[in-house]
């Protein structure tokens, strides 16, 4: 008989909110392409535009700034590649991207593709030991006025998807603005956990994903300021402000809008509850010998570390071993970004923070969400000591075998 499951991987995806499911099911029974001019098409268009208004209100943006995408990955790709192309067409010197070292792979892999195939250049911005990218580091990476003239875009995430560090986005955006450079932020993990206000932040572009806020997978948005030029990466109907073509997924958009409205409205209340759970989890886990917390941690605070994120490292063992042992005990978590699961190398985020590679191998990301309970935290804390002991024994045996 399988053990009771405790789902502690909300940063990878969080269960859909019942209200979002209900809203989607209702719309899925209706026919109509939102680009059609007949009655059914106009009804579908009305649902899309009402949803656009809800998403805009939740993010502190104008409805015209919301570009629906297939998710956060497409939004990040479109922001970097689209702005680079538009800015370079206007001024061929602008071929440099300034990007933090701790970004999600949706950003990092896009940058690496652009440097290999589109003759772009990149300046990586480092972080401190907690994963924080500060304004001084960004200003140094951009350089003086002569150097800034070749920068197409700055991209720094709002909150890190592994260790949960919350970035000083308004300060970073101001540095980019002072240099005359558009600023993009991946806010996929931040929305619903901290206050995200696009207009107040000073950002020019912002990425968000539906399945991180209790909506469906396969839907998200790129918020694009009205004065920002973005070259499209897909072509066809030009449905989204001529920036992104494709038949609009009406039901998914409605589910996304329903979820983000609810999640943002409940953000402060949820943050207090999740912070208490997170703090109890971190405190209990770090009582196990060899277990330490990664990133910033001040009990009771969710402004410097996401409320639902508890990132741990365990010495003398591999994170994958821990994951499988915990999974066998009914605990579902991860070793880092779900998009990189199964890749046997230390996290680029932890290495950028200055953590030794050997220690970074023992990473465990435990993330909480709207369905998380005290009982799930208790189950994790009960299973952790045994999993750590067995994983460390397995690691020691591997080294002994290798030595012979």
Residues paired with 100 in a beta bridge:
125
Tell me, yes or no, if 339 is annotated catalytic.
yes
Task: Compute the distance between CA of residue 190 and CA of residue 211 in angstroms, rounded to an integer.
Answer: 13
Place of tokens 């019942």: 18
Q: What is the DSSP string of 190-228?
A: TBTTB---HHHHT-SEEEEEGGGTTS-TT-EEEEE-TT-
Q: Which of 127, 317, 333, 339 is catalytic?
A: 339
Question: Number of C-alpha atoms within 13 angstroms, CB side, residue 69?
Answer: 28
Helix (H) or strand (E) holding 50: helix 39-59
Sequence-distant (6+) residues with CB within 8 A of 1 are: none
Q: How many of the other CB atoms lie within 10 Å of CB of 233? A: 15
- Helix residue ranges per DSSP H, 286-373: 319-328, 348-352, 357-360
For 60, 117, 397, the CA distances from 8, given in Å and listed in that order, are: 29, 38, 29
Phi-psi region of 123 (alpha: psi -120 to 50; beta: other; left: phi over 0): beta
Catalytic residue positions, numbered: 339
């Amino acid at each position: 008989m399988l053990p009771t499951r405790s789902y502690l991987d909300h940063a990878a995806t969080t269960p859909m909110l019942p209200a979002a499911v209900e809203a989607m099911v209702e719309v899925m029974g209706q026919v109509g392409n939102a680009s059609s001019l007949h009655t059914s098409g106009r009804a579908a268009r009305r649902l899309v535009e009402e949803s656009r208004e809800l998403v805009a209100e939740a993010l502190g943006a104008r409805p015209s700034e919301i570009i629906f995408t297939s998710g956060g990955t497409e939004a990040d790709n479109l922001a970097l590649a689209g702005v680079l192309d538009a800015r370079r067409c206007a001024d061929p010197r602008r071929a440099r991207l300034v990007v933090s070292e701790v970004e999600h792979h949706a950003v990092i892999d896009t940058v690496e593709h652009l440097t290999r195939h589109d003759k772009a250049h990149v300046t990586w911005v480092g972080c401190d030991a907690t994963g924080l990218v500060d304004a001084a580091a960004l200003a140094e990476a951009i350089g003086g006025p002569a150097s800034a003239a070749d920068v197409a875009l700055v991209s720094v995430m709002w909150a890190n998807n592994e260790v949960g560090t919350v970035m000083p986005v308004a300060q970073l955006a101001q540095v980019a603005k002072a240099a005359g450079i558009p600023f993009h932020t991946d806010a996929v993990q931040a929305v619903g956990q901290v206050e995200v206000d696009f207009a107040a932040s000073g950002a020019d572009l912002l990425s968000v994903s539906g399945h991180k806020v209790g909506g469906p997978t396969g839907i998200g948005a790129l918020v694009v300021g009205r004065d920002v030029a973005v070259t499209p990466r897909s072509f066809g109907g030009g449905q989204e402000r001529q920036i992104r073509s494709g038949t609009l997924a009406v039901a998914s958009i409605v589910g996304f809008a329903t979820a983000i409205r609810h999640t943002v409205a409940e953000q402060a209340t949820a943050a207090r509850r999740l912070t208490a759970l997170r703090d109890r989890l971190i405190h209990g886990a770090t009582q196990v010998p060899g277990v330490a917390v990664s990133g910033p941690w001040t009990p009771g605070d969710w402004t410097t570390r996401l409320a639902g994120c508890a990132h741990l490292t365990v010495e003398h063992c591999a994170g994958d071993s821990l994951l499988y042992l915990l999974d066998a005990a009914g605990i579902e978590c991860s070793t880092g970004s779900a998009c990189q699961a199964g890749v046997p190398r230390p996290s680029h985020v932890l290495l950028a923070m200055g953590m030794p590679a050997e220690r970074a191998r023992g990473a465990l990301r435990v993330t909480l969400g709207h369905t998380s309970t005290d009982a799930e935290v208790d189950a994790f804390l009960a299973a952790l000591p045994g999993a750590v002991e067995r994983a460390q024994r397995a690691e020691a045996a591997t080294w002994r075998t290798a030595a012979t």
